Structure 1
Amino acid sequence: MKTIIEEPFEEKNATALAVGTLVISTILFILYVASNESPNILVIAWPFAFSAILVNFIMFIHLVDNFIKRPNQRKYILNKILILLVNIPIVYLYYNIVTKM
């Protein structure tokens, strides 16, 4: 019988990515509101939002893959997934506020 030794999974980039994209999107939202809906801010914000969605989705796929492959560390990985997914309702709120202005 072969023993499989599983290396510990430590993913610090997921939290940094989630917090970083949340902070940057919050700053862009505040700048947009403070600048009386300046379209110049949107020129920066929309490409950032698109790239943030893409990068966060790639990180989500990476975490789900590790969630499936590492059953002993699912609780840790699930916490990382939840931290990443917290951005969705916040950014959705920002989007609704901007489109209603």
Structure 2
Amino acid sequence: MKTINEQPFKEKQSLELTIGSFVITTFLFALYIISNEDPTVLVIAWPFALAAIIVNAIMFIHLAEKFLHLPQQRKEIGFKILLLLSNIPITFFYYLIVMKS
């Protein structure tokens, strides 16, 4: 007989990663705009962006695996996946603005 785990999904790192990535990306974008588009800000921003992509991809894979293996907690895990993925259009918007200037 299979036991059903009714405990809530207590994983907080994905929310912290989502908020942290958003705050740091927004800070770097604002710094770039305030500094009159100083290219030295990009020297800091691009490595961070690459690292953020890698770390967020790892977290997405982790959440997707949990989504598949914990069907009773899919609603909460799905919400965390959507929050994590919400950084993509925001970062892409920042990228478009930087590339047009």
TM range (shorter): over 0.9
Deviations 1:40-96 (A, max 9, x none): 101100000000000000000000000000000000000000110110000000000
- Tell me which residue corresponds to 2:95: 95
Output aligned runs, 1:74-85, within 5 Å: 74-85=74-85
Give 1:3 shift: 2.9
Structure 2 CA distance, aligned partners of 1:7 and 1:39?
Answer: 51
Task: Please say if 1:42 is aligned against 2:42.
Answer: yes
Per the normalisation by structure 1, the TM-score is 0.94
Structure 1 CA distance, aligned partners of 2:97 and 2:11?
Answer: 33
Bigger drift between 2-11 and 12-21 goes to 2-11
- Tell me which residue corresponds to 1:19: 19
Calculate the aligned-residue CA RMSD, in Å. 1.1
Instruction: Tell me the percent identity.
Output: 56
Q: How many residues are treated as equivalent by the alignment?
A: 100
- Tell me which residue corresponds to 2:28: 28
Alpha carbons 2:6, 2:72 under 8 Å: kept: no
User: Does the C-alpha gap of structure 1 residues 28 and 76 become closer, same or farther in structure 2, counting only changes over 3 Å?
Assistant: same
Structure 1 CA distance, aligned partners of 2:53 and 2:4?
Answer: 35
Per the normalisation by structure 2, the TM-score is 0.94
Output aligned runs, 1:41-80, within 5 Å: 41-80=41-80
